[in-house]
């Protein structure tokens, strides 16, 4: 997706045609852009000191069915500590756009309400083809109110790597010292308004009988929005659920939320991929970033500040089985990798240590050629996770998105996300090519050398 000029609101340049009320079907283990039970925003940034027009991340949650549905949103730090959750009510074919600046700077949660909390149909109005029903469990929770100042302070501290009083003086994320909030977001279909996190007892149960359901009806997209009004975006990661497929219902299988359900597969969510291929360009005026989300396979809680590689959290920083850097004549460069987490002391290559991050190719991940492609095998054994997931303890799901930019004056080496390059001319993003699925992860790299 290329730049979209934004005025006072975002206008999507693409549409989705719904030929019928039933969402499209797809194959479990193949992460494709079809309605799903879980959405993942793999990484966000919000400039907390940038004023009303500072850098922000926006995303949408959409309902592909005529049936009304509840969605549960969780904000996670970049080290996978949950710091906020709230509920969204969606009428049939509804869309809710969330600007994380409104939430993290203004303390404003999205205002939605089911028919029981919205008898005049003014908070969440429905259209002629849309169902509008009452979820009695949402009484007193919807419509949401603004966050109190002490909780807003907690969010800002937690997402910038500072100690939070609400977390008992502990930390939730990495401290970059730049007042940029970082993390990722998950959205699940639920049957009732809940304030439980995915790791809490009762949130998941087999066959969608917990708080979370297996309704594959959600779809969405996201934008990184620059102060000048430009944006780059991509579709959210769409994660389907099935209580019948053995890959998502048999204990011991690798599922998306496996670490939160004791690897019993009771979340019924398909996992992501473990190996990826992505091109890069860092020559002349070009720059490339990889946005990378990873699974530490650990149910992480707040920790003693600050984060320290190999100490806090116990899995940080995440290693990988292999990285192979190819130039355009197919000449390989194979930096030394260690397929264990945390990495051994003195490990030379640690480009993706966190659960959510943006990595500048040529800087955070050094490369010799100016143009080429990178093979990433992000599988890793995590000591703190033990022999999990049981079917393959070496497997580790991940997601990689590529962000490209170019600009006048040969200003290579700048970050695409923060700070925004003043001479940026073009920026696009797309997901990296997925070479496998964590339902059947591959543990070999080019050259056929097993890890």
Write the CB contacts of 355 (distance below 8 Å, at least 6 apart in sequence).
Answer: 76, 78, 79, 80, 184, 293, 294, 295, 296, 318
| Sequence-ordered list of residues with C-beta below 8 angstroms from that of 226, at least 6 positions apart, any chain | 55, 420
CA neighbor of 413 nearest in space, from 374, 372, 366: 366
For residue 29, the model assigns a pLDDT of 84
Residue 5: how many CB atoms within 10 A of its CB?
A: 9
- Identify the pLDDT of residue 19: 35
Q: Are strands 237-239 and 180-190 parallel, antiparallel or unpaired?
A: unpaired
Amino acid 39: pLDDT: 98
Cα separations in angstroms, 2 against 220, 231, 449? 17, 8, 38
Here the tokens at position 52 are 């009303």
Tell me the torsion sign for CA atoms 251, 252, 256, 262: positive
Q: So what's the pLDDT on residue 418?
A: 52
- The alpha-helical segments, DSSP class H, found in 249-339 are none
Q: What angle do CA 173, 177, 179 make, to 5 degrees?
A: 85
pLDDT value, residue 284? 76
DSSP 57-68: EEEEEEE-SSS-
H/E run at residue 299: none
pTM of the model: 0.92
Average confidence (pLDDT) per 10 residues, the chain, 451 residues: 35 35 67 95 94 89 98 98 98 98 96 97 95 97 96 98 98 96 98 98 98 98 85 95 97 98 98 98 87 98 95 96 96 93 86 96 93 98 97 98 71 47 68 97 83 49
Q: What is the pLDDT of residue 9?
A: 32
- Distance (Å) of CA 109 to CA 24, 87, 141, 317, 339: 30, 9, 11, 33, 40
How many whole angstroms separate alpha carbon 337 and alpha carbon 324? 10
């Amino acid at each position: 997706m290329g730049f979209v000029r934004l005025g006072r609101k975002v206008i999507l340049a693409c549409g989705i045609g719904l030929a019928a009320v039933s969402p499209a079907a797809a194959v479990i283990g193949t992460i494709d852009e079809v309605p799903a039970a879980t959405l993942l925003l793999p990484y966000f940034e919000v400039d907390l000191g940038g004023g009303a027009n500072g850098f922000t991340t926006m995303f949408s949650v959409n309902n592909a069915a005529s049936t009304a549905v509840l969605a549960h949103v969780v904000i996670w730090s970049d080290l996978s500590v949950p710091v906020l959750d709230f509920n969204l009510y969606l009428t049939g074919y509804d869309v809710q756009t969330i600007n994380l600046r409104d939430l993290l700077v203004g303390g404003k949660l999205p205002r939605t309400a089911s028919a029981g909390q919205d008898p005049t149909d003014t908070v969440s109005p429905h259209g002629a083809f849309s169902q509008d029903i009452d979820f009695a469990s949402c009484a007193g929770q919807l419509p949401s109110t603004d966050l109190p100042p002490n909780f807003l302070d907690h969010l800002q501290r937690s997402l910038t790597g500072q100690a939070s009083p609400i977390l008992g003086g502990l930390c939730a994320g990495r401290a970059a010292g730049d007042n940029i909030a970082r993390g990722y977001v998950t959205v699940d279909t639920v049957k009732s308004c809940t304030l439980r996190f995915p790791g809490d007892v009762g949130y998941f149960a087999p066959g969608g009988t917990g708080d979370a359901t297996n309704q594959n009806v959600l779809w969405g997209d996201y934008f990184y929005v620059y102060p000048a009004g430009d944006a780059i975006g991509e579709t959210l990661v769409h994660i389907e659920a099935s209580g019948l497929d053995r890959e998502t219902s048999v204990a011991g299988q690798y599922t998306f939320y496996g670490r939160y359900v004791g690897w019993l597969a009771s979340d019924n969510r398909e996992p992501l991929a473990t190996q990826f291929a992505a091109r890069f360009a860092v020559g002349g005026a070009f720059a490339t970033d990889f946005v990378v989300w990873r699974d530490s396979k650990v149910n992480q809680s707040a920790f003693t500040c600050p984060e320290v590689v190999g100490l806090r959290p116990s899995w940080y920083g995440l290693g990988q089985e292999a990285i192979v850097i190819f130039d355009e004549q197919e000449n390989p460069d194979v930096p030394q990798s260690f397929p264990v987490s945390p990495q051994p002391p003195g490990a030379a290559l640690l480009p993706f240590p966190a659960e959510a991050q943006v990595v500048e190719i040529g800087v955070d991940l050094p490369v010799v050629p100016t143009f080429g492609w990178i093979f990433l095998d992000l599988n890793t054994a995590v000591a703190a996770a033990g022999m999990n997931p049981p079917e393959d303890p070496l497997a580790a799901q991940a997601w990689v998105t590529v962000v490209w930019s170019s600009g006048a004056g040969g200003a290579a080496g700048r970050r695409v996300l923060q700070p925004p390059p003043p001479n940026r001319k073009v920026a696009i993003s797309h997901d990296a090519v997925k070479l496998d699925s964590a339902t059947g992860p591959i543990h070999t790299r080019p050259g056929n050398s097993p890890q």
